[in-house]
């Protein structure tokens, strides 16, 4: 296979945006598409090698997998082994257990499946997972299992049939990816069936070029290859995490990559740019740079008391490049040289290391992250925020009950029913609130859905497209079976759509999209919510839990960091009340506008943990976390909120009931 320097340059164009994206630089908000560029390149190179050897009668599966083992495993296993002592020293039990599961996944080439299964709403932020990036390697490794077998079969019937077959598979995978990016986004992101089309796009490019360079004018080749670079660059600069992906959006960087591969001939402007020594050298070490950067970033976040600065991230990125060069020079290169290590040595070593790493991962999983590494006090902090309270059969999470179902009938009591309606914040307070209400002889029904603000007529975009329907059906259920309604949600995030920054080094990692009014996307969302809730209260008494003060950092983890790494007593962990008030200005004004409604009670949660005079909001009380993460209340805080809600429910129950929607319509 003829060496193409521009392909190495293209690798550099893929890995640099990925690194800067994971470092959080806004100019690279779409840097995650670098992985998609890698997929197309891999599909192109692998197909070229396999088809060339098949045509020459030299291809064997054993040789193919030996080359893959020499190329992928040495650096990968080196990085995993590097991570082990830092994970042991710095990760909380829950995080170490998750890490151990990812180690096991890496060893059996299925880390993408592990991360897919662990991609729940309350899962650890992606930025804190040292081996998260190995999901893309698992995709490629799984592709390498079945794709050579397909080529062996279809190449017997000729090149044309091979191209047709791969094209059909490509289109099928692409259509599945488009559907899943809206309906099953985690599966679309992590699983091979929804990513295979990207590698197959590279395969189609390989078949085209195996017939020789495409014969077009130099100006046309210049234009098309330049367009390819522009598509990649535009994706890096303009895309955001909130867009449905891969699906349609991934077509821009992947087809841009294909254009570069097909038309960046020697002599074109694109080829000259990509073939410059700096791009080529970074491309040569791109695999190592990709492997090293995520563990360095993740462990820095775990170890630091505050979010690392941009300068720190740049230093870590530079360190990743240095480690990548050393890995390429002293590990990858020597092991890929057959003169240094025989096939038998490589395969036996790969098997032994895979088995050893798998055993370590499995043992860490079975030991639940080795909590005995910590003192009893630290273990209590690590566990106190996440231990769930007892639940009831009448709390329905993510799926609405049928009004005719026996389980709903058993929960409902005509004069004494309280509904809990809301998103993950409502899910966190629901067990404590349910227990408090049941003790006061109320029947409780929870209608809860993660990521869905409990207001009809609004939407949070494609990734939460089931929310409007859920809210409409929940509202209809309450209309048919009236009761007092308790609402709880992460109001600020839903309205503003921005991650929380406590201005003291605590910056939430995840990004979200804001809600908008479905029938009028330009409408003022807080005003719309005010109108909707006021109208709803005309038929059902409302108790609204306002915006629970957000912390910005994961509170149990921050408490552990301070106790383990701080050099002085910092006192109880707290955050700024002024920042809370500033960030929630629109939300607080929205709730203030509802105070005059006779059937609406607002629970001011900041009164429970914040002191206006000192200007601080407590994140812990008596050494116990008030949050399970950076914004969801812990059991202790949930119980405090539940008592306030119970008081408001009792007061609402004493008022004359508003006219029900059915009675209103009959009048």
Q: What is the CATH number of the domain that holds 602?
A: 3.40.50.1110
> Where on the phi/psi map is residue 481: left (φ > 0), alpha (ψ -120 to 50), or beta?
beta
C-alpha–C-alpha distance, residues 176 and 355, integer Å: 34
DSSP string, 219-276: HHHHHHHHHHHHHHHHHHHH--TTS--STTTTHHHHHHHHHHHHH--TTSHHHHHHTS
* Predicted confidence band of residue 667 (pLDDT cuts 50, 70, 90): very low
C-alpha–C-alpha distance, residues 170 and 507, integer Å: 40
User: What is the pairing mode between strands 620-621 and 624-625?
Assistant: antiparallel
**Cα distances (Å, whole numbers) of residue 341 to 223, 287, 376, 571:** 45, 21, 49, 57
Q: What is the largest CA-CA distance in the chain?
A: 91
Alpha-carbon 138 to chain mean position: 17
C-alpha–C-alpha distance, residues 494 and 522, integer Å: 15
* Structure confidence by residue, pLDDT tens digits, 239-279: 988 788 999 999 999 999 999 999 998 789 999 999 999 99
Residue 203's pLDDT is 97
Domain's final residue, options 320, 335, 369? 369
Q: Give yes or no for residue 184 having a pLDDT over 60.
A: yes
* Predicted confidence band of residue 550 (pLDDT cuts 50, 70, 90): very high
* Structure confidence by residue, pLDDT tens digits, 88-117: 999 988 899 999 999 999 999 999 999 999
C-alpha–C-alpha distance, residues 501 and 111, integer Å: 31
**Residue 375 forms part of a structural domain:** no
C-alpha–C-alpha distance, residues 548 and 492, integer Å: 9
Token pair for 584: 């929630």
Q: 363 and 395 share a domain?
A: no
Q: 358 and 411 share a domain?
A: no
C-alpha–C-alpha distance, residues 15 and 28, integer Å: 12
- Which one, of 267, 288, 382, 386, lies nearest residue 335 by Cα? 288
* Predicted confidence band of residue 123 (pLDDT cuts 50, 70, 90): low
- Is residue 78 within 8 A of residue 331, CB to CB? The reply is yes
Count Cβ atoms below 10 Å from residue 51 Cβ, excluding itself.
19
C-alpha–C-alpha distance, residues 145 and 131, integer Å: 22
Q: 358 and 488 share a domain?
A: no
Residue 664's pLDDT is 46
**Residue 381 forms part of a structural domain:** no
Token pair for 452: 């869905």
Q: What does the DSSP 8-state code read for residue 329?
A: I
Residue 126's pLDDT is 80
- CB-based burial label for 200 (10 Å; 0-12, 13-18, 19+): buried
Q: What does the DSSP 8-state code read for residue 395?
A: E
**Residue 458 forms part of a structural domain:** yes
C-alpha–C-alpha distance, residues 19 and 39, integer Å: 16
Q: Give yes or no for residue 382 having a pLDDT over 90.
A: no
Residue 515's pLDDT is 86
C-alpha–C-alpha distance, residues 170 and 199, integer Å: 9
Q: What does the DSSP 8-state code read for residue 30?
A: T
Q: 588 and 619 share a domain?
A: yes
**Residue 444 forms part of a structural domain:** yes
**Cα distances (Å, whole numbers) of residue 296 to 15, 27, 102, 381:** 15, 21, 16, 26
- Which one, of 412, 332, 337, 282, lies nearest residue 9 by Cα? 282
Token pair for 205: 């490019």
**Residue 73 forms part of a structural domain:** yes
Q: 12 and 87 share a domain?
A: yes
What value does the mean pLDDT take over residues 318-342? Answer: 94
Residue 410's pLDDT is 87
Residue 15's pLDDT is 97
Which domain range does residue 134 map to? 5-369
Partners of 421 in the β-ladder: 447, 487
**Residue 396 forms part of a structural domain:** yes
Q: Give yes or no for residue 661 having a pLDDT over 70.
A: no
* 55 contact partners, CB below 8 Å, separation of at least 6: 155
- Is residue 257 within 8 A of residue 40, CB to CB? The reply is yes
Residue 65 or 377, more confident: 65
Residue 485 three-state SS:
strand
Q: 487 and 346 share a domain?
A: no
Q: What does the DSSP 8-state code read for residue 371?
A: G
Can you give 139-184 as a three-state secondary structure string?
Answer: HHHHHHHHHHHHHHHHHHHCHHHHHHHHHHHHHHHHHHHHHHHHHC
Number of structural domains in the chain: 2
Q: 412 and 550 share a domain?
A: yes
**Cα distances (Å, whole numbers) of residue 295 to 38, 130, 266, 346:** 19, 4, 37, 25
**Cα distances (Å, whole numbers) of residue 245 to 97, 188, 225, 273, 605:** 28, 7, 24, 29, 36
Q: 100 and 247 share a domain?
A: yes
C-alpha–C-alpha distance, residues 86 and 416, integer Å: 54
Partners of 488 in the β-ladder: 422, 545
Partners of 458 in the β-ladder: 517
Q: Give yes or no for residue 121 having a pLDDT over 80.
A: no
What value does the mean pLDDT take over residues 320-349? Answer: 94
**Residue 380 forms part of a structural domain:** no
Q: 413 and 358 share a domain?
A: no
- Is residue 529 within 8 A of residue 590, CB to CB? The reply is yes
Domain's final residue, options 310, 342, 369? 369
**Residue 196 forms part of a structural domain:** yes
Q: 358 and 417 share a domain?
A: no
Q: Give yes or no for residue 402 having a pLDDT over 90.
A: no
* 17 contact partners, CB below 8 Å, separation of at least 6: 28, 30, 31, 32, 33, 34, 236
C-alpha–C-alpha distance, residues 234 and 398, integer Å: 36
Q: 335 and 395 share a domain?
A: no
Q: Give yes or no for residue 444 having a pLDDT over 80.
A: yes
Domain's final residue, options 369, 401, 436? 369
Model confidence, pTM: 0.88
Q: 393 and 540 share a domain?
A: yes
What value does the mean pLDDT take over residues 560-575? Answer: 85
């Amino acid at each position: 296979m003829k060496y193409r320097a521009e392909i190495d340059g293209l690798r550099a164009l893929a890995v640099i945006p990925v690194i800067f994206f994971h470092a959080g630089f806004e100019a690279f908000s779409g840097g995650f598409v670098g992985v998609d560029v890698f997929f197309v390149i891999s599909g192109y190179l692998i197909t070229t090698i396999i088809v060339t050897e098949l045509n020459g009668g030299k291809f064997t599966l054993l040789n193919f997998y030996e080359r893959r083992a020499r190329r992928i495993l040495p650096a990968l296993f080196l990085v995993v082994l590097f991570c082990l002592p830092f994970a042991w020293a710095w990760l909380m039990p829950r995080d170490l257990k998750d890490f151990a599961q990812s180690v096991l996944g890496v060893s059996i080439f299925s880390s993408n499946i592990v991360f897919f299964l662990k991609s729940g709403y309350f899962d650890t932020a992606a930025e804190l997972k040292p081996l998260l990036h190995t999901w893309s390697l698992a995709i490629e490794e799984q592709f390498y299992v079945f794709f050579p077998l397909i080529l062996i079969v279809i190449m017997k019937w000729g090149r044309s049939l091979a191209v047709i077959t791969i094209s059909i598979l490509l289109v099928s995978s692409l259509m599945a990816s488009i559907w899943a990016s809206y309906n099953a986004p985690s599966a679309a992101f992590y699983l091979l069936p929804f990513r295979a089309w990207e590698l197959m796009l590279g395969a189609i490019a390989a078949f085209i070029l195996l017939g020789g360079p495409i014969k077009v004018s130099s100006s046309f080749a210049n234009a098309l290859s330049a367009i390819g670079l522009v598509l990649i660059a535009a994706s890096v600069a303009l895309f955001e995490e909130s867009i449905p992906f891969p699906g349609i959006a991934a077509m821009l960087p992947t087809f841009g990559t294909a254009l570069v591969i097909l038309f960046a001939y020697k002599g074109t402007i694109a080829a000259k740019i990509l073939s410059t020594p700096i791009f080529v050298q970074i491309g040569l070490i791109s695999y190592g740079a990709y492997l090293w950067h995520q563990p360095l970033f993740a462990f820095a976040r775990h170890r630091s008391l505050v979010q690392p600065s941009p300068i720190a991230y740049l230093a870590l990125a530079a360190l990743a490049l240095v480690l990548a060069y050393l890995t390429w020079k002293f590990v990858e290169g020597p092991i890929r040289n057959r003169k240094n290590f025989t096939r038998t040595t490589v395969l036996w070593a790969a098997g032994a290391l895979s088995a050893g790493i798998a055993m370590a991962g499995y043992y860490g999983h079975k030991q639940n992250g080795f909590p005995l590494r910590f003192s009893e006090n630290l273990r209590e902090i690590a566990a106190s925020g996440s231990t769930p309270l007892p639940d009831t059969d009448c709390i329905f999470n993510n799926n609405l009950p049928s009004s005719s179902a026996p389980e709903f009938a058993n929960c409902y009591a005509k004069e004494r029913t309280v509904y809990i309606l809301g998103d993950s914040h409502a899910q966190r307070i629901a067990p404590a609130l349910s227990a408090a209400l049941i003790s006061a002889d109320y029947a409780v029904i929870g209608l809860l859905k993660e990521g869905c603000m409990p207001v009809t007529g609004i939407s949070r975009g494609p990734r939460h497209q089931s929310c409007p329907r859920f809210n409409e059906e929940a509202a209809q259920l309450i209309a048919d079976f009236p009761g007092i309604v308790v609402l709880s949600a992460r109001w600020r995030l839903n309205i503003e759509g921005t991650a929380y920054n406590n201005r003291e080094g605590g910056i939430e990692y995840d990004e979200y999209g804001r809600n908008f009014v479905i029938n009028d996307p330009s409408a003022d969302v807080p005003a719309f919510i005010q109108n909707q809730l006021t109208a709803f209260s005309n038929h059902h008494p409302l108790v609204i839990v306002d915006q629970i003060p957000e912390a910005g950092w994961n509170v149990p983890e921050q408490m552990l960091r301070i106790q383990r790494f701080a050099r002085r007593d910092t006192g109880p962990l707290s955050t700024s009340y002024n920042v809370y008030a500033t960030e929630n200005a629109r939300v607080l004004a929205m709730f203030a506008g509802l105070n005059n409604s006779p059937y609406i009670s607002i629970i001011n949660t900041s009164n429970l943990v914040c002191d206006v005079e000192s200007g601080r909001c407590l994140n812990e009380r008596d050494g116990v976390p008030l949050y399970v993460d950076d914004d969801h209340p812990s059991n202790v805080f949930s119980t405090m909120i539940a008592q306030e809600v119970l008081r408001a429910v009792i007061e609402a129950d004493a008022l004359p009931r508003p006219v029900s929607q059915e009675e209103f319509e009959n009048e």
